[in-house]
Structure 1
Amino acid sequence: MSPHVRGILLLILVTAIWGSTFAVVKTLGELLAPAVLIAWRFLIAALALLPVVLIRQARAGAVGGGLREKSAGERQAASRQLWRDGLILGAWLIAGYGTQTIALQTTSANRAAFFTALSVVLVPVWLVFAQRRRMPLALWVALPLAVLGLGVLSWEGGAFVTGDAWALACAVTYAGFIVTLERMAHRHAALPFTLAQLLGVTLLAWLWAAVAAPSQLWPPAAAWGPLLYLGVVATALTTLLQTVGQRYVSAAEASLIYALEPVTATIFSFILIQEKVGLRGLFGGLLVVIATVLSTRGNAEAHPEVPAPSVEG
Structure 2
Amino acid sequence: MPQSRKADLLMVVVTLLAAIGWMFSKEAVQLMPPLLFMSLRFFIAGAILLVAGQGQIRRLAPDQLRRAIGVGLVFGFAMSAWITGLFLTDNVGEGAFLTSLGVVFVPIIARVVFREIQPLSTWVALPVAIAGLALLSLRNGFRPEAGQVFFVLAASVFALYFTLNTRAANTRVTRGSRGEEQRKERVPALALTAIALTTVGFVTLALSALREPWAPTFSGFQPMLWVWVLASATIGTAGRFFVQTYAQSLSANSHGVVILVLEPVWVAIFAAAWFGETMSAVQLGGCSLIFAALLFNRWGAVKKLLLRR
How many percent identity over aligned positions?
A: 26
Q: Matched residues in 2 for 1:35 and 1:116: separation?
A: 18
Deviation at 1:274, TM superposition (A): 1.2
Matched with 1:36 is 36
Q: Matched residues in 2 for 1:206 and 1:9: separation?
A: 35
1:155 and 2:141 aligned: no
**Aligned with residue 129 of structure 2, among 146, 170, 174:** 146
Task: Tell me, yes or no, if the aligned pair for 1:21 and 1:265 is still in contact at 8 Å.
Answer: no
Structure 1, unmatched stretches of 5+, are 61-74, 301-313
Could you say if the C-alpha distance between residues 279 and 181 of structure 1 is closer, same or farther in structure 2, counting changes exceeding 3 Å? same
Q: Deviations over 1:244-268 (max 9, x none)?
A: 2223445661111001111011011
Task: Tell me, yes or no, if the aligned pair for 1:252 and 1:297 is still in contact at 8 Å.
Answer: no
Deviation at 1:275, TM superposition (A): 1.0
Letter in 1 for 2:235: V
Task: Tell me, yes or no, if the aligned pair for 2:68 and 2:168 is still in contact at 8 Å.
Answer: no
Q: Matched residues in 1 for 2:10 and 2:204: separation?
A: 30
Deviation at 1:157, TM superposition (A): 7.8
Letter in 2 for 1:189: P
Matched with 2:182 is none
Could you say if the C-alpha distance between residues 99 and 148 of structure 1 is closer, same or farther in structure 2, counting changes exceeding 3 Å? same
Over the aligned positions, Cα root-mean-square deviation in angstroms equals 2.5
Instruction: Kindly tell me the number of residue pairs found equivalent between the two proteins.
Output: 282
Deviation at 1:148, TM superposition (A): 0.9
Q: Matched residues in 1 for 2:253 and 2:154: separation?
A: 23
1:274 and 2:276 aligned: yes
Question: What SS class does the counterpart of residue 31 from structure 1 fall into?
Answer: coil
Matched with 1:91 is 73
Could you say if the C-alpha distance between residues 251 and 40 of structure 1 is closer, same or farther in structure 2, counting changes exceeding 3 Å? farther
Letter in 2 for 1:117: S
Could you say if the C-alpha distance between residues 20 and 3 of structure 1 is closer, same or farther in structure 2, counting changes exceeding 3 Å? same
Q: Matched residues in 2 for 1:191 and 1:138: separation?
A: 32
Q: Deviations over 1:77-124 (max 9, x none)?
A: x44334322321121111111111111122221111111111111111
Q: Matched residues in 2 for 1:202 and 1:298: separation?
A: 36
TM-score with structure 2 setting the length: 0.83
Could you say if the C-alpha distance between residues 156 and 25 of structure 1 is closer, same or farther in structure 2, counting changes exceeding 3 Å? farther
Task: Tell me, yes or no, if the aligned pair for 2:33 and 2:213 is still in contact at 8 Å.
Answer: no
Q: Matched residues in 2 for 1:179 and 1:297: separation?
A: 19
Letter in 1 for 2:75: L
Matched with 1:304 is none
1:208 and 2:204 aligned: no
Task: Tell me, yes or no, if the aligned pair for 1:15 and 1:261 is still in contact at 8 Å.
Answer: yes
1:50 and 2:34 aligned: no
Task: Tell me, yes or no, if the aligned pair for 2:21 and 2:237 is still in contact at 8 Å.
Answer: no
Deviation at 1:142, TM superposition (A): 0.4
Q: Deviations over 1:254-289 (max 9, x none)?
A: 111001111011011112111112333222212111
> Which is worse superposed, 275-284 or 121-130?
275-284
Task: Tell me, yes or no, if the aligned pair for 2:43 and 2:198 is still in contact at 8 Å.
Answer: yes
Letter in 2 for 1:39: S
